[in-house]
Amino acid sequence: MVVCGPSGSGKSTLIKTVNGLEPVQQGEITVDGTKVNDKKTDLAKLRSRVGMVFQHFELFPHLSIIENLTLAQVKVLKRGKAPAREKAQKLLERVGLSAHANKFPAQLSGGQQQRVAIARALCMDPIAMLFDEPTSALDPEMINEVLDVMVELANEGMTMMVVTHEMGFARKVANRVIFMDEGKIVEDSPKEEFFANPKSDRAKDFLAKILH
């Protein structure tokens, strides 16, 4: 699912409600049968099952890349250090960064850091992945290296909710598109329908500007 819309329309707020990083003011959100806004819900447990990749990477600068990938596995999943390290190495290989395991985040490019952030989320064996504008802080030449990893994940069947302005990516990968404006969901439709025949004038205007 791709969430798009103009800046300030509430896209990031919406995606953060899915794992309880923002409060739900109305209605309810259910993830794999668990109500996110139920007071009895263990949010820490839920967050360990739903991977989140942020705009600004959020890597620990004082830890090596491999340590960034093993920390939550050991602390949250109680995985042994050796299996956690093995898992981390496999996922670094998957995102094309196995040679950088012992470097620190500051030694990597923005695109590389974002791929590390994706690998870190995958280390937790998530049932779904949330991406909050994962390419908006990147230089143009680095965007595709991150999108390629995301396309591969989508093709493997990973459930993903992605806030993005990358409409080419949305056309290629999304099953469903949500368009937001002024804090409201204006359109919620299959990808083909949204791009070929948007219903609202606001979505038509947005697509005309972004797809010209």
Instruction: Give 133-192 pLDDT, tens digit per residue.
Output: 999 888 888 899 999 999 999 999 999 999 998 888 899 889 999 999 999 999 999 999
Domains in the chain: boundaries: 2-210
The band of 212, judged by pLDDT with boundaries at 50, 70 and 90, is low
Average pLDDT over residues 71-95: 95
The band of 104, judged by pLDDT with boundaries at 50, 70 and 90, is very high
So what's the pLDDT on residue 168? 87
Residue type, 22: E
Q: Is the pTM of this model over 0.75?
A: yes
Please give the residue that has the higher pLDDT: either 92 or 211: 92
Tell which CATH classification among 3.40.50.300, 3.30.390.30, 1.10.3720.10, 3.10.129.10 matches the domain 2-210.
Answer: 3.40.50.300
The band of 201, judged by pLDDT with boundaries at 50, 70 and 90, is very high
What's the chain look like in SS3? CEEECCCCCCHHHHHHHCCCCCCCCCCCCEECCEECCCCCCCHHHHHHHEEEECCCCCCCCCCCHHHHHHHHHHHCCCCCHHHHHHHHHHHHHHCCCHHHCCCCHHHCCHHHHHHHHHHHHHCCCCCEEEEECCCCCCCHHHHHHHHHHHHHHHHCCCEEEEECCCHHHHHHHCCEEEEEECCEEEEEEEHHHHHHCCCCHHHHHHHHHHCC
